[in-house]
Amino acid sequence: MLDNKAKLALFASGSLGLGGVILMALGAYFAFLRPALLPEDLKFMSSSVAQIQSALPGLQAWLTRVFGVLGGFMFAAGLLTGYIAATSRSAGTIRLTMIIAVAGLTSIGWMAITNFLIDSDFKWLLLTFTFPWLFAVALYSISNR
């Protein structure tokens, strides 16, 4: 039978694993499905596709490659996060909790913040993707006591 500390750590690792899966899905989307320019990108730049293609004819092809690389890194970060979640089922340590907090803040957290800064159509969805990380950090913190 698991004690309360072990149960908290188990729920924390499950929540962190969900955060990893979300990052992997976002990575796959960016690498394979995301168009180079979304309508909200054009709105933010106060421009049209025709204007952009005229001024920077290679931009869309370049962005497709950039998003492919970004997606690969996101997928890798999600995979590594999932691995940490799967191997950290015992009570968390302060060091592990700090690493998870910084990784969440600098990955999906910063993505959500940036999407609010640019008033993205997806800002609220991306904000919800931070919740598994926040929940995991809170549970790991409690299990460290």
* pLDDT tens for each residue of 19-45: 999 999 999 999 999 999 999 999 999
* pLDDT tens for each residue of 44-73: 999 999 999 999 999 999 999 999 999 999
pLDDT of residue 89: 63
The number of beta carbons lying within 10 Å of the beta carbon of residue 69 is 11
Per-residue HEC secondary structure of 20-37 comes to HHHHHHHHHHHHHHCCCC
Confidence band for 2, pLDDT divided at 50, 70 and 90: confident
For the whole model, what pTM was predicted? 0.90
